[in-house]
A and B are shown apart, each in its own frame.
Chain A
Amino acid sequence: MNAHRADVVIVGGGIMGAATAFFLRKRGVSVILLERGLIGQQASGVNFGNTRRMGRPVEQLPLSNRSRESWLKFKELFGEDVELLLNGQLRVGFTPAHEERMAKYAQEAQDFGLGMQMLSANALHERFPYLGPELTAGCYAPYEGHANPRLAAPAIGRAAVREGAQVFENTEIVRVEKEGEDFRVTAADGRIFRAPVALITAGAWGNRISAKFGEPVPMIAKAPQMCVTEPVPYAIGPTTGALADAPEQSVYFRQVARGNIIIGGGGHELVDLDNRRAYVNPSRTLLTLKNAPRVMPAFNHLSIIRVWSGIEGYMEDSRPVMGPSARVPGLYYAFGFSGEGFQLGPGVGDVMAELIHTGATTTPIEHYHIGRFAKLAAQPA
């Protein structure tokens, strides 16, 4: 059997892998994209759907801004509408400490074009009269928005196919190894894929592959806890997130143009990676339902009609692994986006394609180099 061959083989068909495949094709590089299930089915497809920049570490904002350029011309680039709605992002707080956190961030990130405006209690309630009386301050970023995660990564995947990427879905990978100058990727059914360059975009499973190349990273898989209301008339402009002093107390929500309000929060559940199913813990749902009306009391009149979860890879330091391998020439990584990858997806694809194609990138990503965990590999297992 002839092996499938290309310039680059990508393992993992989430938004990162699909976007990189797309941008590599735009640069004329041949590419194979391998996905165990269907494109964008795991974390890329089940996340909250935020395309915000506000709140990201300042060092990440150049990458996030680069991604924003792709989001703004999503339809033009990838050929499909994915319900992008740019009605701003609002962070709200309950305490002076929350206000201080927001003000500090607004100060630190002021040069990145987010247009953040701090709002006093009065201004906040005047501008967003549906907010609860306990809220004492807010920070509004007018250019942010959200999109439909069920549609985005599959749309990018189809665009990559149209550009000439070879996409193989339902292809479980059992081995990735270096053989001479080539990477040899073996599927469970025996198919072989070869390329001189390999990119690992395997999300919560990325660590398993990097460890095989002597580069283990501290990552755990967690399941976000989402729910959605029935459709009600569109009334809530900005995506809204309340600051919390513990992850379990967090709550954030967005209303889609059709009217449903998606609510996340309540912390995370741990995941059994082998069974590939993530569950919603009813106690966390109830916690979110208790906290959401503190932000918007009118929630108490609505019902949720569905809950869901997914599998996301969280790094110990909350920073993704992105860039070249520290040990193996030709090997690249982009995984572990710690629950914040959706907005970054198109930008990561753009940057990784640039990096693989030219050997360098104009967007700083050195914070995310896997070498920061080199001492882990030296430790006995």
Chain B
Amino acid sequence: MNHRFTRLAETSRIPVRLVIDGHTVEALVGDTLMVALLNNVRHLRESEFDDGKRAGFCLMGACQDCWVWTADGERLRACTTVVGEGMHIVTRQPEATWPNLA
């Protein structure tokens, strides 16, 4: 079982490709980044405080539990971002070298 969300309808949309932790996967045009990710993997990020993996909570931009890192050190709120072709998302906490990426 490699994904968390399941699609119940609207599945004939055009596919879009993105990269999650180095693996290229497919989502659908019109997906939020969160839905694109969770239809491929089971989590979005790691908690900063060692209590495990997180997969979002409110889906309406209120809880802020779904902020993910891009490969070049940018931050995106997955539930309010629309997925785009070629996005490169990292679900692990980056190393302490993150400020040097900018």
A and B touch in the complex (CB under 8 A): yes
Q: Which residues of B contact A301 (CB under 8 A)?
A: 73-75, 102
CB distance B99 to A296 under 8 Å? yes
The answer, yes or no, to whether A142 is at the interface (CB within 8 Å) is no
Q: Which of B48, B64, B67, B99 contacts A298 (CB 8 A)?
A: B99
A296 to B102, CA, bound (A): 9
Q: Which of A47-55, A204-212, A225-233 touches B?
A: A225-233
The answer, yes or no, to whether A302 is at the interface (CB within 8 Å) is yes
Given contacts A301-B74, A302-B75, A303-B75, contact A234 B102 (CB under 8 A): no
Q: Which residues of A contact B64 (CB under 8 A)?
A: 230, 305
A235 to B102, CA, bound (A): 13
The answer, yes or no, to whether B5 is at the interface (CB within 8 Å) is no
CB distance A298 to B96 under 8 Å? no
**Which of A236, A301, A303 counts the most B-chain CB atoms under 10 A from its CB?**
A301
Interface of A is mostly: loop
The answer, yes or no, to whether B94 is at the interface (CB within 8 Å) is yes
Closest to B94 in A: A233
CB distance B67 to A233 under 8 Å? no
Given contacts A301-B73, A301-B75, contact A230 B67 (CB under 8 A): yes
A192 to B87, CA, bound (A): 69
CB distance B93 to A233 under 8 Å? yes
Instruction: Number of A interface residues at 8 Å Cβ cutoff, please give it.
Output: 19
Q: Which residues of B contact A231 (CB under 8 A)?
A: 48-49
Contacting B at CB under 8 A, from A285-311, are 296-298, 300-303, 305
CB distance A233 to B102 under 8 Å? no
> What is B's interface to A at a CB cutoff of 8 Å?
48-49, 64, 67, 73-75, 93-102
Since A129-B100, A130-B99 are in contact, a sample of 19 more A-B pairs with Cβ atoms closer than 8 Å, ordered by chain A residue number, is: A130-B102, A230-B64, A230-B67, A230-B75, A231-B48, A233-B93, A233-B96, A235-B96, A235-B97, A235-B98, A258-B48, A258-B49, A259-B48, A297-B102, A298-B101, A301-B74, A301-B75, A301-B102, A302-B75
